Amino acid sequence: MISHPSEPRQQFPIDSKHPLYTLMAQLKTLKLDASYRPIEVIDALEALVLCWMDKALMLECHTEKAYSPNESFYLPAVIVLKRLVKFTYNNMQCNRHNVLWRDHNTCQYCGDIFDDKELTLDHIIPKSRGGLNTWTNIVAACKDCNQRKGDKTPQEVNMKLVRAPKKPISNVLNRCKMRTVEEIWKNYLWEFK
Ligand SMILES: [Zn+2]
């Protein structure tokens, strides 16, 4: 069901302490530009404000309905902006944050999951032996595995990688560090190179 208010509104009627605010901040909305290109994933709250300000239309809504004292409304799951957006997809940088995200916080040698602070970045071919800072040469490793591997290659110490490291595809979900895809978004998502 497509629904959006006919009257543009400037004021958001719910203050940030209201439980509804929390619900809407948790629900996510896929934002498309006027050509239906997926741009980013934003909070449903922000998406609703864009609809109310008449800058976007709601294409799909979440099943959760929100209630204010005077009205009820559906929260947007997908919105389309009324304008085209000039944007380019930057290549995702091979840094600590992104490597841990790609590897799902899983040590790529023992396969266990760790908190960020317990993980290190391991150069598969050690830096001291010419290994580069690239997506295919860096993996998340727990401190124990990293220590065990030391300044060797995995083959030299008989350690196996859980999976071969790759550069993540730079699509909208990766950029937003989303690990799950809303079913309702699938019709609107396509990958960018
Ligand atoms: Zn480990």
Distance CA 81, CA 183 (A): 21
* Inside any domain, residue 4: no
162: domain CATH number is 1.10.30.50
Q: pLDDT at residue 79 above 60? A: yes
Identify whether residues 152 and 164 lie together within a single domain. Answer: yes
My answer on whether 160 and 176 are in the same domain is: no
Residues whose Cβ atom is located within 5 A of ion ligand 1: 107, 109-110, 142, 145
Domain that holds residue 134: 91-168
Distance 89 CA to ligand 1 centre (A): 33
Task: Identify whether 14 is part of a domain.
Answer: no
- The reply to whether 79 and 38 lie within a common domain is yes
Work out the average pLDDT over 136-156: 96
| pLDDT of 151 strictly over 70 | yes
CA of 155 to the centre of ligand 1 (A): 16
Does the structure show a pLDDT above 80 at 98? yes
**pLDDT at 78 (0 to 100):** 94
Mean predicted confidence (pLDDT) in 145-153: 96
| Residue 6 covered by a domain | no
CA 168 to centroid of chain Cα atoms: 12
The rounded distance, in Å, linking the Cα atoms of 189 and 187 is 6
Tens digit of each residue's pLDDT (9 = 90 or more) over 45-67: 889 889 989 999 999 998 877 77
**How does DSSP assign the chain, residue by residue?**
-----SS------S-TTSHHHHHHHHSEEEEE-TT--EEEEEEHHHHHHHHHTTSEEEEEEEEEEEE-SS-EEEEEEEEEESS-----PPPPP-SHHHHHHHTTTB-TTT--B--GGGEEEEESS-GGGT--SSTTTEEEEEHHHHHHHTTS-TTTTT---SS---PPP--HHHHTT--S--GGGGGG-----
Residue 174 CA to ligand 1 centre (angstroms): 25
Tell me whether residue 124 is in a domain: yes
Q: Is residue 35 part of a domain?
A: yes
User: Number of folded domains in the chain?
Assistant: 2
Q: pLDDT value at position 148?
A: 96
> Quick check: 11 pLDDT over 80?
no
Amino acid 42: pLDDT: 85
User: The pTM is what?
Assistant: 0.52
Q: Please indicate, yes or no, whether residues 153 and 142 belong to a single structural domain of this protein.
A: yes
Query: Is there a domain that residue 126 lies in?
Result: yes
Average pLDDT value for residue range 167-175? 64
Asked if 51 and 81 sit in the same domain, the reply is yes
Q: State residue 111's pLDDT score.
A: 97
35 and 129 both lie in a single domain: no
Q: Which of 111, 64, 73, 88 is nearest to 172 (CA)?
A: 88
How many angstroms is it from 114 CA to the middle of ligand 1?
A: 9
Is pLDDT of 171 > 50? yes
Q: Which of 20-29, 90-99, 177-186 reaches the highest mean pLDDT? A: 90-99
pLDDT of residue 153: 96
- The answer on pLDDT for 7 being more than 60 is no
Kindly state whether residues 95 and 84 are assigned to the same domain: no
